[in-house]
A and B are shown apart, each in its own frame.
Chain A
Amino acid sequence: MRNKEGAWFYFFISPWLAGFALLTLGPILFSIYMSFTDWDLFQTPHFIGFDNYQQLLTEDPIFWKSVFNTFYYALIAVPLGMAISLWIAYYLNKKLKGITFFRVLFYLPSVVPVVASSLLFIHLFAPSAGLINKTLQVFGIIGPAWLLDANWVKPALIIMSLWGVGGGIVLLLAGMKGIPAEFYEAAAIDGASSKQAFFRITFPMLTPVIFFNLVTGIIGALQTFAQVFIVTEGGPDNASQMIVPYLFQNAFRFYKMGYASSIAWVLFIIILALTLVVFRSSALWVHYEEGKNA
């Protein structure tokens, strides 16, 4: 019985496995080798040992700048995005008239393609004519030049990332719907306040979803590409350059595919390390209702 089921498992998953082996695993292994060569996309690659890695880690200030920027972005954008999505999801879970409308409203931006929203934000961030600075002006604040200012370009990208919190909201909302009503009834009988109910019931019950959002959020933030590529092109003077756009530049603008491959592997190691840390830490704060034997 079990064997038969196993056979079906492999049967159904085989198209994906074949695709993975051919289209993903092959190139991945190939790029490991390429990261040790001077491949320029056209000519026969030469093996150059650790030269790419050495140059990357010791002689390339733009790489380190892009690592710093990427972490700056991820460290603020991910927690902030998660907090805001939890906050909004909490209110969208209320039983109010027309709440479905608001749920759609908050999810809608996540459906808009990044390219479109990026073009929109270029206009929103315009120094005087942009909607954001015009709004600030109402309160007597003179806004910065955002995308043109080395100090404000990263915060601008972070603000832009909040546009996409809808995806996280939907997952949290689904998680909230899954919390049995008895818990809240019991808490109400014991006289718990709504604040207590949130921190003692809602939040712990949501930790698996939050954990998922955290891991995918970190990976997504570290791989940020389109926003930078479209909105700032890494400028001014690489103040918003991030790892993946820099990788792309090296590969397809500078024809340094070997070097770009080494950037990809350094990024992979960073992501792997961070993900492992988050996974290890999950035992401390992620609560699974069924217990560990599930």
Chain B
Amino acid sequence: MKKWVTATLSILLLVGVLAGCSGSSAGNASTNSPADEGTNTSSGNNAKSNDKPVELTMTIWGSEDEKKIYEERLEVVKEKHPNIQVKVMLVAGDYDQKVQTMIAGGTPPDIMMIAENFQTYASKNQIIPLDDLIAAHGLDMADRYSDDIANLMKYEGKQYGLTDRAGAMVLFYNKDLFDAAGVDYPTKDWTQQDLMDAAKRLTVKNNGKTEQWGYYPGSWWPQWMQLVYQNGGSLFDDNNKPTFDTPEVRNALQFLNELTFTHGAGPTPSEIADLGNVGPDPLFAQGKIAMETTGFWNIASLSKVEGINWDIAPIWGVTNAFFNGLTITKTSKHPEEAFKVIEALTTLEAQMPIVKHGQDAPATKAALTSEEFLNAEYGGKKINMAAFSESRIYDQPLNPKWNEMMKVIDDKLGVYFNNKSSLDETVTQIQKGLDNLYK
């Protein structure tokens, strides 16, 4: 393992030497290019490239099955643009690292699937803003996406990608356990207090040992962050200064800590470790937790589980979205064609395979409200798919230092969510760390 890391590092660095030599000149030359493309007679270029066969590479993560879904969708694209051939490259393992290596090595993909950290690539000038291309091709963004989903891929006011898959976080609940405890099913009208009350009533103890928990908050960021935004708080103010030491954040964190430690309605880190660190999804499937909030992927997993009676509900107030989008790399030689491909991939027709295979929630308005999506059956039954389009999504505090920010926060929150530090200490330390990071 160590050797592997050293080897990877060495190769990467070597590649860097080679890239570094040519990097300065290429970098300078290409800084001017997007503007040129925008103002240049792009239609003239277009006419020529229309006939010319072009081959593009597109990197994705996921499973072999998911790769097939992308290929199926690209067949739809091919009917529209027969001259463009797209090769799908499935990255196994560390996606970021692989793509970084490809970029540093001078063989970047043309189209790159990317999620929360697209801003890192945007801020480092590795993916291009699409606004000019969107205008040139007359793509009506307001028609294709709801605002909050289109905004997910904006950075400093510019659209850096076309959102491809985007599912809101929803509440999964076990109907049988709700019936047994005599608790009403969750609705969009719930409040945080309703969640707490239900979680308490859904917790079952036997001889002082908890056998069933109401809710699984965990320490994963979407769980506490949605509460912050529901409280009307945010992680940054309008001037992008961190606002972690605020009542809204404090209330959100305290809510989860009390749910677990005061009321015992959620598993503690020790109990989670004793349960084998498997995460909430399998525990929900086993009926050990009555509610969890998570993304679309759990629908596909649960549809394969027999003997569990479950449904989903939209989350009270705002929640976060799990999304990914398609971006075009700066060094792609065919940005024009790459845009045609991602435009075509986000049409209703090309999004349908996502729905057909139950892979994810599609990002476009048309697909999200399509009959096929709303009436899709999972494991032979219908569920409340409207929960996805009914959800409201908050403006997630994405920023180029996302990974560093999460480390500052997680280092301290991990201890607080294990009830080993005070709220005051936790919040002030995180605020200090963030002030230092964003000074």
Contacts and interface: CB of A to CB of B under 8 A. Distances in A.
A145 B120 contact: no
A235 B403 contact: no
Given A126-B274, A128-B274, A23 B104 contact: no
B91 to A, nearest CB: 14
The prevalent SS among residues of B at the interface is: helix
Q: Which of B10, B125, B269, B414 has the most CB of A within 10 A?
A: B10
B270 A43 contact: no
Contact of A223 (B2, B14, B20): B2
Interface string A127-149: 11110000000000000010110
A30 B2 contact: no
Sort chain B's interface into a size bin: 35 or more
Contact of B1 (A114, A122, A249): A114
A147 B404 CA distance: 23
Given A42-B103, A237-B414, A254-B403, A34 B1 contact: no
A136 to B, nearest CB: 15
A226 B2 contact: yes
B5 A244 contact: yes
B239 interface: no
A253 interface: yes
A94 to B, nearest CB: 34
Contacts of B276: 123, 126, 129
A42 B120 CA distance: 11
Contacts of B97: 252
A128 B272 CA distance: 10
Contacts of A49: none
B2 A127 contact: no
A44 B24 contact: yes
Given A42-B104, A128-B270, A249-B407, A235 B125 contact: no
Nearest to A26: B14
Contact of A254 (B9, B125, B404, B412): B404
Nearest to A146: B273
A90 to B, nearest CB: 29
B208 to A, nearest CB: 13
Nearest to A37: B20
Contacts of A225: 1-2, 5
A100 interface: no
Contacts of A79: none
Given A42-B126, A148-B270, A30 B418 contact: no
Contact of A23 (B14, B124, B126, B275): B14
Given A22-B14, A255-B124, A236 B420 contact: yes
A34 B13 contact: yes
Contacts of A150: 415, 420
B27 interface: yes
A274 interface: no
Given A22-B14, A24-B10, A123-B276, A148 B20 contact: no
A123 B275 CA distance: 9
Interface in B1-33: 1-2, 5, 9-14, 16-17, 20, 23-24, 27
A207 interface: no
A39 B12 CA distance: 13
A217 to B, nearest CB: 13
Contacts of B120: 255
Nearest to B24: A44
Contacts of A253: 403-404, 407
A31 interface: yes
Interface of A: 22-24, 26-28, 30-31, 34, 39-45, 113-115, 122-123, 125-130, 145, 147-148, 150, 220, 223-226, 235-238, 244, 248-249, 251-255, 257
Q: Which 7 A-B pairs have the closest CB atoms?
A: A27-B13, A226-B1, A129-B274, A127-B270, A27-B10, A42-B124, A30-B17
Given A30-B17, A226-B2, 6 more contacts: A27-B10, A126-B276, A128-B270, A130-B273, A236-B414, A244-B5
